Chains A and B, each alone.
Chain A
Amino acid sequence: MGKNLSTFTSGLVKNNPTFVLVLGMCPTLATTSSAANGMGMGAATMFVLILSNIVISLIKNLIPDKVRIPAYIVVIASFVTVVQLLMQAYLPDLYNTLGVFIPLIVVNCIILGRAEAFASKNGVWASALDGAGIGLGFTLSLTLIGMVREILGNGQIFGMDLWQGGGALIFVLAPGAFIVLGYLMILFRKLTAKTK
């Protein structure tokens, strides 16, 4: 169990996809204009990541080495399409906000990266935990960036007013994403360095 637990928690801190591995920057920067959007994107990615990790670890011995990347992509793309359809059907508002970034989960390097680096070498249970850990790490990071941007940019948190009159709009716009990500990364490194 100890090993499983460390598999899970490594995705949160040691291998945090956003602040340490710095993977999947496109959705990170683009969808974190509010906390709810960041969380939605993170959750969708986590869902795909867990399922694709499970399936890939199940079929890893069946896939010839030469075609493993196309096979992974097919598996991932199928799950993304499933998520997209489900979201369109049952969460239309979130679907409208996230828009084009849902299909782009296919090319999120976190997912292919975990398939290649972890799921293709480990068992089903460990792969699922790894997907959950990395996915949760991604979700929390995106939510955090979204929260900071929403607070600084609009004076709101999850759509609720913290104070009247908004904030510095630049944090909601594209440059704000880079600025907030940079400072959060510094903070994250500083905090994790101390605990080592």
Chain B
Amino acid sequence: MVLVLFVICAVASAAVAYVSQITAEPIEQAKQQKVVAALKAVLPEFDNAPVAASVEGFEGAYYEAKLGDQTVGYAFESTSPNGFNGNVKLMVGFTADGTIVNIEVLEQAETPGLGTNMTVVDNPLLLSFKGKQAAEMNMTVKKDGGDVDALTAATISSRAYADAVARAYAAFKSVTTGVVEAYTSATQLKAQAEEGGAACGNCTKEEAKECGEGPHGKCHGNCKHQ
């Protein structure tokens, strides 16, 4: 009895191991193709083979695209954990001067028919970003006072999308300026503001609370009382 079960398990695992071996390469290729296809879709024309690189303060990988010797753009694989149903992962492409070329959704598990509209061609969410100069944008949805048109009945998904783009832009600044840009999401900022004062690069939360009253030269950036 035990022997029979043992033999069945051994045969089964050998078969699975064999299939796993022969599919390993196609699976890897399929993943690679997806990345290349996404890069082609979000970047200006390039002729190098972009390789994944990483930058401090940014979780995902980024790719530098070149035409000849000239850097023509950067693409960022940016993930926001704030989706309605888990992560929203985007490929965001910038030209070298920070204009958003295009955005592709790599992974999402949003509500079908609502949040999944972020994958539709030319949806309002994408159009709010496409072709815009990132520096001139407030990357939050209109409901939160920003410049981004949310998808109908999918504000949370839209927020996550905008959050992922904002993360990509923070990383873009880190890459192009060489100064690491700490990213704080809109929701974090809001929570900190509600608590009264936010911690920032040079001052603690307590100092931030006070910096509006006294001469506290170091306070800047995210501090509420600035």
Interface residues of A (CB under 8 A from B): 33-34, 59, 62-64, 66-67, 70-71, 74-75, 77-78, 81-82, 85-86, 88-90, 92, 96, 99, 153-154, 166, 169, 172-173
Contacts and interface: CB of A to CB of B under 8 A. Distances in A.
Contacts of B13: 78
Contact of A67 (B5, B109, B111): B5
A64 B23 CA distance: 34
Contacts of B153: 169
B12 A78 contact: yes
B26 interface: yes
B121 interface: no
A86 B19 contact: yes
A65 B127 CA distance: 63
9 contacts: A33-B113, A64-B1, A67-B1, A75-B12, A81-B19, A88-B27, A92-B34, A169-B114, A169-B153
Given A63-B4, A64-B1, A85-B19, A74 B113 contact: no
Contact of A173 (B8, B107, B113): B113
B15 interface: yes
A3 to B, nearest CB: 30
Given A86-B23, A88-B27, A89-B30, A78 B1 contact: no
Given A70-B5, A85-B20, A90 B26 contact: yes
Contacts of B113: 33, 153-154, 166, 169, 172-173
B30 A62 contact: no
Interface in B6-28: 8-9, 12-13, 15-16, 19-20, 23, 26-27
B112 interface: yes
A40 to B, nearest CB: 14
Interface string B175-210: 000000000000000000000000000000000000
Given A71-B4, A90-B26, A153-B113, 17 more contacts: A67-B1, A70-B5, A71-B5, A71-B8, A75-B12, A78-B12, A78-B15, A78-B16, A85-B27, A88-B27, A88-B30, A89-B23, A89-B30, A96-B107, A99-B109, A166-B113, A173-B111
Nearest to A72: B8
Interface in B152-177: 153
A67 B1 CA distance: 7
Contacts of B1: 64, 66-67
Contacts of B112: 33-34, 172-173
A153 B27 CA distance: 33
Given A153-B113, A154-B113, A81 B5 contact: no
A88 B30 CA distance: 8
A110 B23 CA distance: 27
Interface string B100-139: 0000000101011110000000000000000000000000
Contact of A75 (B8, B19, B34, B107): B8
Contacts of B8: 59, 63, 71, 74-75
A104 to B, nearest CB: 15
A74 B4 contact: no
A90 B9 CA distance: 27
A63 B2 CA distance: 10
A90 B29 CA distance: 10
Ordered nearest first, which 7 A-B pairs have the shortest CB separation? A89-B26, A172-B113, A78-B12, A89-B23, A92-B30, A85-B23, A64-B1
